[in-house]
Amino acid sequence: MAVREQNRRKKILLGEDRNALTWLIILNGLFFVSVYFIEQMYAATGDNSLATKLSIEGWVALPAEGYRFLTHPWTLLTYMFAHNNFWYIISSVLWLWCFGYILQDLAGNNKLFPVYLYGGVAGGIVFLVTANLIPSMHANAATHSLMGAGASVMAVAIAATALAPGFRILPMLNGGIPLWVITSVFAAIDLGTLGRTNGAVAAAHIGGGLTGFLFILQLRRGNDMGAWIINLGNWINNLFNPEKKYKQEKLFYNAKRKPFEKTHNFSQQKLDEILDKINEHGYHHLTEEEKEFLKQASKENL
């Protein structure tokens, strides 16, 4: 399986057209740069007050007050990509890359974005409910809003761990560290820090983590909660890229080879198709013939 692992990891690390992990990192970066740029524009005019800063961030941050949320409903989606601190976004992106890479590797590319989105939305709802029903949980916080990918990253972390708790990281260290250990340390640091400053935000992260666990639980039962999100994304992509859709259908229609032929003349094109399938849906979605093809291809060092 050396060929499969090498090509698969290369694609995920370097990114490709539909790599969810790459796009999530890009979106977080773009939101941070955009908000920072606008704040610097105001600062250049001499208006660099805290009130102005909070006003700008208020357009993307999820407010704790219910009446403000009703006038800014889009913040339930934007807050999970927005960060107001350089070290906060660096931390979020690093943890997202760590757990997102593993989830992609185990479950396929199409599961990462739905888990991130579900975790963020669930965390945002928990934040709103907690902040309004238990005001004391955010009364002493520096701000009364929620920003950052914390809830979404927690969802990704718990989802990856629920899928394969024994997954080993850093195998050179005495056989590797189990994924559940890394996740436990991450959750302890994250929730321990927030618990001392903002209970509502900590509750949001817990809500995100529970959502990630629920996603994997349903996936094991054969219910893919993220299928509609991927289908909607593909529909929008095909709507704006009709030529790309036509090419994909044409290539499939002209394919004359069987899914697998027991021959030593391996096709690089067939190998790439199988690797793409693994990247999209995970190794467990391959047929027995495709798995055997990869095994034989590995022996031939394609």
- Residue span(s) of the chain under CATH 1.20.1540.10 come to 2-220
**Exposure of 205 by Cβ count < 10 A (0-12 exposed, 13-18 middle, 19+ buried)?**
buried
* Cα–Cα distance, 117 to 29 (Å, whole number): 16
Sign, CA dihedral 139-144-150-155, equals positive
Three-state DSSP state, 17: coil
- Residue 49: count of CB within 10 angstroms of its CB: 11
Q: Distances from the Cα of 137 to the Cαs of 63, 128, 178, in angstroms?
A: 14, 11, 34
Q: Which fold has domain 2-220?
A: Rhomboid-like fold (1.20.1540)
Say what the pTM is: 0.73
Nearest to 68 by CA among 127, 118, 153, 136: 127
Sequential pLDDT tens for the chain (302 residues): 444 444 444 444 444 446 889 999 999 999 999 988 888 888 788 777 767 777 778 889 999 888 889 999 999 999 999 998 889 999 999 999 999 999 998 888 889 999 999 999 999 999 999 888 876 655 444 447 889 999 999 999 999 999 989 888 887 777 788 999 999 999 998 888 776 667 888 899 999 999 999 999 999 888 889 888 888 877 877 777 766 554 444 444 444 555 444 444 556 677 777 777 777 666 667 777 777 777 776 665 54
DSSP state of 25: H
Contact assessment for residue 163 and residue 107, using Cβ atoms and an 8 Å cutoff: yes
